[in-house]
Chain A
Amino acid sequence: MPRPASREPEPGSDPLGGDQGMLARATGARLWKDHGLLLWAHFLVPPVLAALVVAATFATPVLAGILAAIVLGIAAVSARALMLRLSQTEEQRLALTNQLIQSQKLAAIGELSAGIAHEINNPIAIIAQEGEWATHLIGEAEKQCGADFAEVKDSLREVRAQVDRCKNITHKLLDFARKREPVMQDVDVSRIIEDMARLVDKEAAYKNVTLVRSLPQDLPKLRTDAPLLRQVVLNLMTNALHAVSEGGRIEASARADDEVLEIRIKDNGCGIAPENIEKIFNPFFTTKPPGQGTGLGLSMCHTLVTGMHGEISVDSKPGQGAAFTVRLPRRPQPART
């Protein structure tokens, strides 16, 4: 019998407790471990009862008939329960496999792009240095021969600007791939949302967009990494601000139950096309015109939230806005290795 690793989290805790636990659940090993007795009953009760019927046939035919009917009924109920259970497991397995594939895909893309960024960083630095040197040489030449090299200097300035742009992207990528172990503190989530909303307010006012906060007074404190959460909230709000048109509305809300604290940033903007929903958390995926967004914001959010042992999801219909939901566990999570 395949046994899940000993590090497997307690039943009922984080539904995504590590790859091991995820796999154990996906393959049904978890089911066997938790419900072994029940499954044995499923398999053994009908044959045992059948044996009883055989025994009963040696008694009166009426008694045999009654016993046979009872056995048939029990067998049917048992089979049905088993099938239900199997189909539920299958559904869970599918969902978990999908999640696993998605997070593995994101991790692979992240690693690849960080590798490329790292390799490209050096040549970019050399281009910047050489550009600066050329600018210096042109300046000297200008002084010596009195000619006007304004156009060359202009072109070098542009080289510099574009190099800076490249550097910006590679830095973001490297930063995003760097694994930061979260530092857990008691965090006032309402306060974080309010603080970040204030940063967005002014820009929102320019666009005539209202940023509504609906935060319950009694939202419990959450043990999590404060700056990471700020980054996620700010990114989602900025994202929403880009998605809405003039006069739009963004709503930031939060709520908690015993298990999770949920933050939701909802906008009434253009929404996300169904074919893009799957790709929305991929690094470099953007619907903005070239040069206006690196497509790293949401994938960064995904990485950060996963790092905080939480989940991020999106719900959207084209033309009806989008809602991003971040769900963070309220109980301490086992450290991941």
Chain B
Amino acid sequence: MDIKILLVDDENDFVETMVKRFGIRKMAIDSAKSGQEALAAMQAKDYDVIILDVRMPGMDGLEVLKLIRERAPLTEVIMLTGHASLEAGMQGMNLGAYDYVLKPADFDDLLDKVRKAFERKELNAKARKQGA
């Protein structure tokens, strides 16, 4: 099954590499350069997993995370950051992020986490359907 992934990061090179590497595995991945772009993309498509950079100019990653959780509670979010910021990590996890990846991200590691996040999303969706 195809996983619908959105990568939100302002760093062009990183986004390009990731899109390429996911592409090699025949996994389509959309990208957004800012929080606003990400939220706009979410209106057009239901994403399963969003990979979200914590530090971006404009809208703060944690702010975006909050909005994603509000608007699409089933979508799982993996936080991404260039440096290990404990405070941001804590806040991200407490706001309901699925996982946390430190840049430079190991691709296999990230892929594994995306798969796990997707599995959780599916389980969650199933549980909701049964509960309803």
Residues on A close to B: CB < 8 A?
172, 175, 181, 183-185, 195-196, 198-203, 226-227, 230-231, 234-235, 238, 241, 300
Q: Which of B96, B98, B127 contacts A226 (CB 8 A)?
A: B98
A219 to B84 alpha-carbon distance, docked (Å): 26
Shortest C-beta distance, A187 to chain B (Å), equals 8
Q: Which residues of A contact B120 (CB under 8 A)?
A: 183, 185, 226-227
Q: Name B70-86 residues within 8 Å CB distance of A.
A: 83-84, 86
Q: Which of B83, B90, B99 contacts A202 (CB 8 A)?
A: B83
Contact B83 A234 (CB under 8 A): no
Shortest C-beta distance, A78 to chain B (Å), equals 52
Contact A183 B93 (CB under 8 A): no
Which one of B84, B95, B97 has the greatest number of beta carbons of chain A within 10 Å? B84
Which one of B83, B84, B86, B95 has the greatest number of beta carbons of chain A within 10 Å? B86
Contact A203 B116 (CB under 8 A): no
Contact B116 A201 (CB under 8 A): no
In order of increasing CB-CB distance, the 9 nearest A-B pairs are: A202-B84, A199-B89, A203-B86, A231-B93, A183-B123, A199-B84, A227-B98, A183-B124, A183-B120
Contact B84 A198 (CB under 8 A): yes
Question: What class of interface size applies to chain B in its complex with A?
Answer: 20 to 34
Q: Which of A175, A183, A195, A235 contacts B90 (CB 8 A)?
A: A235
Shortest C-beta distance, A297 to chain B (Å), equals 9
Contact A183 B127 (CB under 8 A): yes
- B102 interface residue (CB < 8 Å to A): yes
A201 to B83 alpha-carbon distance, docked (Å): 11
Question: Can you offer 28 A-B residue contacts whose CB atoms are under 8 A?
Answer: A172-B94, A175-B94, A175-B95, A181-B127, A183-B120, A183-B123, A183-B124, A185-B116, A185-B123, A199-B84, A199-B89, A199-B102, A200-B84, A200-B86, A201-B84, A202-B83, A202-B86, A226-B99, A226-B120, A227-B98, A227-B99, A230-B99, A231-B93, A231-B94, A234-B93, A235-B90, A238-B86, A238-B90
A7 to B22 alpha-carbon distance, docked (Å): 47
Q: Is the interface of B mostly helix, strand, loop or mixed?
A: helix
Q: Which residues of A contact B47 (CB under 8 A)?
A: none
- B37 interface residue (CB < 8 Å to A): no
Contact A227 B102 (CB under 8 A): no
- B60 interface residue (CB < 8 Å to A): no
Contact B116 A230 (CB under 8 A): no
Q: Name B20-46 residues within 8 Å CB distance of A.
A: none
Shortest C-beta distance, B113 to chain A (Å), equals 9
Shortest C-beta distance, A184 to chain B (Å), equals 7
Q: Which of B83, B94, B119 contacts A185 (CB 8 A)?
A: B119
Q: Which of B84, B94, B96, B99 contacts A203 (CB 8 A)?
A: B84
A234 to B51 alpha-carbon distance, docked (Å): 20
Q: Which residues of A contact B90 (CB under 8 A)?
A: 234-235, 238
Known interface pairs A227-B93, A227-B99; A199-B116 also in contact (CB < 8 Å):
no
Inter-chain pairs besides A184-B123, A198-B84, 9 sampled, C-beta below 8 Å: A175-B94, A175-B95, A185-B120, A198-B102, A202-B86, A226-B98, A227-B93, A234-B89, A300-B94
A234 to B84 alpha-carbon distance, docked (Å): 13
A118 to B97 alpha-carbon distance, docked (Å): 23
Q: Which residues of B contact A185 (CB under 8 A)?
A: 116, 119-120, 123
Q: Which residues of B contact A226 (CB under 8 A)?
A: 98-99, 116, 120
Shortest C-beta distance, B48 to chain A (Å), equals 14
Residue interface bits B85-121, CB-to-A below 8 A is 1, else 0: 0100110011111111010000000000000100110
Q: Which residues of A contact B83 (CB under 8 A)?
A: 202
Known interface pairs A200-B86, A234-B93, A238-B90; A195-B127 also in contact (CB < 8 Å):
no
Q: Which of B84, B89, B97, B123 contacts A227 (CB 8 A)?
A: B97
Q: Which residues of B contact A201 (CB under 8 A)?
A: 84
Which one of B94, B96, B99, B119 has the greatest number of beta carbons of chain A within 10 Å? B94
Contact B96 A227 (CB under 8 A): yes
Q: Which residues of B contact A238 (CB under 8 A)?
A: 86, 90
Shortest C-beta distance, A267 to chain B (Å), equals 15
Shortest C-beta distance, A158 to chain B (Å), equals 21
Known interface pairs A183-B127, A185-B116, A227-B93; A195-B99 also in contact (CB < 8 Å):
yes
Shortest C-beta distance, A198 to chain B (Å), equals 6
Shortest C-beta distance, B62 to chain A (Å), equals 11
